[in-house]
Structure 1
Amino acid sequence: MTKRKESNRRYRMLRQFFLYLFLAFLIGCGPSQTIKKEGTEEKPEKTESESKKHYNIGYEYLKMKMYSDAIINFEKAIEDSATYVDAYLALAKAYIETQQYGLAEETYKTMIEKVPSTLKGWTGLGSLYVKMARYDDAIEAYNKGMQIDSLNASVYHGLGHVYEKKKDHEKAREYLERAYNLEPENRAIAFALAKIYLKLERCNEASVLLAKIAKEFPKDIEVALSLGDAYYDCKKYSEALEQYKKVEPELPEFATINIKKAKSLEGLRRYSEAAEEYLKAVDKSENKRIPYIHLINMYLKIKNYGKAQKYITQAFAVAPNDPALNCMKGDVYLGYGDGARARKNKKGYETAIAHYKTAKGWYRKALGDAQWRKYAEGGIKRADIKIKNTQQEMWYGDD
């Protein structure tokens, strides 16, 4: 047995020891039983402390992910107190963690029946239905919760989440703004609203909201990344780069950070630095194709076809006959053709036509791919037009 296995075994033993010690303490603190006289049939009365005891034991099991034991104790707590809201919620959570969604649904419905005045049954049911992709049922559940408390932010937050899942981002924004107005200090609501603003391309509103959250939660990596994305969408490339640099030490092996830094540097026209970041992402990525495509696309945009060609060749080594790379290769040869044509002499025109024909060959390689077919067809049409125009220039001049 290795030292690591031995350490893990000791950790599990200690964890179980302290759990059992805690449970023994809870049981020992329970109400003492009255000694019954011989011959009596009287049953001990269930007390609130017994329900609480079972709930506490179940909660410890839940934290330890010992779900079967947790469920048994939560059920005992509910048996002792049929209106114990926290026990219903915890029981439903245990069922959800074990993917027993039908039993979780039944638990919420029983809770709603036994404690009709509580909102938590409806919001729990709504959240469950979202997880099950039953969006219309989720909307109905949240609307019923709204009838109990129309000023509760969690209802509007939940509805916003449903409509986000339904891709109705404008409707999601309406509900999340209501939730935010009710609880402006609620981080989860503020963050959800900011993400919707980003999806609606309202980057200024998103960046203001995210900056506020980041100030309060400076170590929240997800918030910092989203703020960087908001700045990038607003073309505030320096601010975006600064945010990504803050996050990088926390995620040193996360290639996406290098890609985001590179795109910000592109926006600042610092192309050499951007290329360095893309190549770092290539080194870190399992799927090296993605950072290569970003790098090649940058060189195509600035018409550095030689560098684009170089990295296409490298990318083909990890993604042979990739349709995106085939199209980019076509773009390179269109660029080569334009350069030769610009010389405005017979040799230049002939070279340009040859390059355009080569470009068509590379585009044809991508015609079988559904995602890239349209782009490839467009590339072939562009090449044909360039060939025709170049021939006319060669035969008749520019006039």
Structure 2
Amino acid sequence: MKKPLTLPILLLMVLMSAVIAQSQDLDAVFNRGLEQFNSKQYEAAIASFRQALALNPNETAAYYNIGLCYNRMERFNEAITAFKEAVRLNPQYEKAYIQLGNNLDDAKRYNEAIAAYMRAVEINPNNASTFRELGIAHERQKNYTAAAEAYEKAVALDANNAEYRYLLGGIYLDLKRDEDAMRSYEKSVALGYSKGFAQYELGLLYSKRDRTDEAIKMFLEAIRLKSDYSSAYKELGDEYNKKEMFPEAIRSFNDAIRIDSGYADAYLGLGNAYYNDDKYSESIQPYKKAVELSPKWITARNYLADAYLYSGQYGLAEEMFRSAIAIDAKNAESVYGYGLACIQLKKFELARQQKIKLEALDMSLASKLAEKITAAEIKP
């Protein structure tokens, strides 16, 4: 004959059933929150995770996910509060410290972000991505030495990560360590960096060293990876200009302008391609556009004035050089060009005045202008 269950055993079974039911409710609510998060229903997800916290106030993952929701909505201060709760409940919660740092960084609270990343490093010193985030935070504060140290640690932990090599290259540039930057970018490219930025920066470094063919190769690769990379098209045009490949240069500058119609440097480069190909009249319009986009750009005004001069439009050349001098009276190229325009207009006294001004700015140009004045005055 079976004995009836005693009261204590019955109570224990009831309590166990309640705990199991609550656990099942918590799982259901939590999973619903995850589904809502994945569907970008962030407000609804927050409500679900808060419901999970009502069932279990110590559910650290709920605070973590609430923080992620706020981050996606760019409500960084609320995200910070949630992640702080997560690490309060679990001081060893590495991921929460990293996310706390990310949101402090987004909120421009860089010192606090660095402290959060350092805590994550204490918990796990072998996580390369934490050093990446730490480097970014130092970089935002322009503490390039500390940023370099962080990125170097990231590279040491994950030597085959192309992005880390790219980031390290950028910091080396900031530190004026161009050779180190070049090696870092080369390694990034060799590892398959796929965003185009490392290729672009490497192209610039090759260009500075007159390694024109290698620069062209890198700019073409940057464009292949990022087809709307207007700066890469512009730099490619400059390299083609160096090689006197003017049709290719013109095409590249036009591509840059197609992507960014307000790109003054690309218009200047386009003007240079026509000008260097002795097509002075065709260079005028792009130079004019460069001046229109950047009215105080002395170089653009000088180049436009020069194009006017070489296309026989001496009055316009004089006017443009004078406008450049009005912006910067000490620009020797503007003063020299103005003197040349005056010679063509037979305003020799004005030309001599420019020669006198040049004597205080650039004796070489002053001598050249004096020779041209003399030659023009004795010419029958």
Report the TM-score when normalising by structure 2.
Answer: 0.70
Amino acid in structure 1 at the alignment position of 2:164:
I
Q: Does the aligned pair in 2 maintain the 1:78–1:87 contact within 8 Å?
A: yes
Equivalent of residue 75 in structure 2, options 90, 100, 104:
100
Amino acid in structure 1 at the alignment position of 2:149:
E
**Superposition pairs for residues 1-399 of structure 1, below 5 Å?**
44-45=18-19, 50-82=25-57, 84-217=59-192, 219-233=194-208, 235-248=210-223, 251-252=226-227, 254-287=229-262, 289-297=264-272, 306-307=278-279, 310-316=282-288, 320=292, 322-323=294-295, 327-331=299-303, 333=305, 361-366=319-324, 373-374=327-328, 377-382=331-336, 383=338, 384-385=354-355, 389=367, 390-391=369-370, 394=373
Identity of aligned residues (%): 19
Between 1:104-113 and 1:255-264, the stretch displaced more is: 255-264
Alpha-carbon distance, 1:245 to partner: 3.0
Alpha-carbon distance, 1:309 to partner: 5.2
In structure 2, C-alpha distance between the alignment counterparts of 1:84 and 1:109, rounded to whole Å: 13
For residue 140 of structure 1, give the secondary structure of its aligned residue in structure 2: helix
In structure 1, C-alpha distance between the alignment counterparts of 2:248 and 2:297, rounded to whole Å: 23
Between 1:104-113 and 1:291-300, the stretch displaced more is: 291-300
- Map Cα deviations across residues 280-328 of structure 1 (whole Å, 9 max, x no partner): 333444326442112234667x5x6x53553233453686485257743
- Map Cα deviations across residues 188-218 of structure 1 (whole Å, 9 max, x no partner): 4333223323444545444444444444446
Q: Does the aligned pair in 2 maintain the 1:326–1:363 contact within 8 Å?
A: no
Between 1:106-115 and 1:233-242, the stretch displaced more is: 233-242
Unaligned runs of 5+ in 2: 1-9, 339-353, 359-364
Q: Does the aligned pair in 2 maintain the 1:83–1:114 contact within 8 Å?
A: yes
Report the TM-score when normalising by structure 1.
Answer: 0.67
Alpha-carbon distance, 1:358 to partner: 6.6
- Map Cα deviations across residues 245-269 of structure 1 (whole Å, 9 max, x no partner): 3454565555444323223323444
Amino acid in structure 2 at the alignment position of 1:362:
M
Q: How many residues end up aligned between the 2 structures?
A: 339
In structure 2, C-alpha distance between the alignment counterparts of 1:378 and 1:181, rounded to whole Å: 51
CA RMSD across the alignment: 4.2
Alpha-carbon distance, 1:234 to partner: 5.0
Amino acid in structure 1 at the alignment position of 2:19:
E
Q: Does the aligned pair in 2 maintain the 1:58–1:69 contact within 8 Å?
A: yes
Alpha-carbon distance, 1:94 to partner: 0.7
